A and B are shown apart, each in its own frame.
Chain A
Amino acid sequence: MNITKRIVQNYIGKTIFNNETRRISIFPILNVKEIHEVQEGNQLIIYGQEKASPREPYLLKNNQTEKCPVCASGLNIKHTDVLILSQFVRLDGCMLPRRITGLCGKQQKRISTLVSMAQKAGLMPNLTPAWSKKDPKKRIV
């Protein structure tokens, strides 16, 4: 009974948190796909094509694989470096979780602090949660 429980837990844990290493999929893969429609005579072909990440050509090479991307880059990131900080947020301005950013705990904490600092200073008005007061001048009171 215990063994079966552990196997089930192990399996569920892997399917949820370790999708990348999974070899088979039970349900359709959730990759970003572009839908194409091709008309050939009286035959309509609709197919989804996987899109490459737009960041691929601009990705910095991480030579020190034992370190996280921010530690390996050796940058002293400040809250004014919005071009870097905007890489760590969703389109609605929320911080990405650690399992997606792949940062160490220290840098994840630091980056999320810097992101909120930049948002509060009004430096990322197009990447700020909608419920926040975007204009810092309206926050004085």
Chain B
Amino acid sequence: MSALKRVQQWATFARIWHIYDATWQNPFKSAEVVKKFLMGLYKPIYHPLNDCGDHVIIINSGEIALPGDEWKKRVYFHHTGYPGGASWTLAWELHTKDPTMILKKAIYNSMDGNLQRRHTMQRLHIFPDANVPKSLLDNVSNQIRQLRPVPTRLDRYTAEEVASYPKLIDYPKDYIIR
């Protein structure tokens, strides 16, 4: 085997680390994207019995955006197994308790329930903010594109940018600025 072929073989089966910024993203649509990388579905060598999934680091999971009134309406069910052990938790309650749980459950539920699922989830690393240990960040070699752009807040623009932006209307001549 030539040196090129050998390196190609290593590169094919190496685990790649991806990073994904969940700021202002829909967790349920993001789960469909992240799932492909976690399971290695995008690889030409993919097979259910082939262990070719990648690692994914998700940062800023506390900044996710749920569509519509899902913060108030989405309910997470849990049963302890004992009589009367059922509990229903609203999405905003779950998010205040643990800001990574909604995303984690979304990705877990987006995959088929087989024996491989728990092992695939072990390759997922979710952080509520951007503080990621350096030992994990050093492995990252790819960034997953966000589903939608994050809008810039008005106070993040400089005063010149705001002042010199093209104006649609002018104040009337007798207007008192206040």
Contacts and interface: CB of A to CB of B under 8 A. Distances in A.
Interface of A: 19-20, 29-32, 53-56, 58-60, 69-70, 73, 80, 82-84, 86-88, 90-92, 100-103, 121-127, 140-141
Contacts of B96: 140
Contacts of B153: 82, 122-125
Interface residues of B, number: 28
Contacts of B166: 58-60
Contacts of B170: 53, 55-56, 59
Contacts of A103: 169
B123 interface: no
B80 interface: no
B163 to A, nearest CB: 6
Given A60-B168, A86-B162, A140-B95, A80 B151 contact: yes
Contact of A30 (B92, B161, B169, B176): B176
B167 A126 contact: no
Given A82-B152, A123-B151, A123-B153, A87 B174 contact: no
B154 interface: yes
Given A31-B173, A83-B161, A86-B162, A55 B167 contact: yes
B174 A100 contact: no
Nearest to A73: B168
Interface of B: 71, 92, 95-96, 151-155, 157, 161-178
Nearest to A111: B168
A61 B151 CA distance: 27
A56 B163 CA distance: 11
A100 B175 contact: yes
A97 to B, nearest CB: 11
B174 A125 contact: no
A124 B152 CA distance: 9
Contacts of B164: 58
A74 B15 CA distance: 49
A42 B27 CA distance: 73
A83 B169 contact: no
Contacts of A92: 178
Contact of B167 (A20, A32, A59): A59
Contacts of A122: 153
Contacts of A102: 169
Contact of B157 (A53, A55, A69, A83): A83
29 contacts: A20-B172, A55-B167, A55-B169, A55-B171, A58-B166, A60-B166, A60-B167, A69-B169, A70-B168, A80-B151, A82-B153, A82-B154, A86-B154, A86-B162, A87-B168, A88-B169, A91-B177, A100-B171, A100-B175, A101-B169, A121-B151, A123-B154, A124-B153, A124-B154, A125-B154, A125-B155, A126-B154, A140-B71, A140-B92
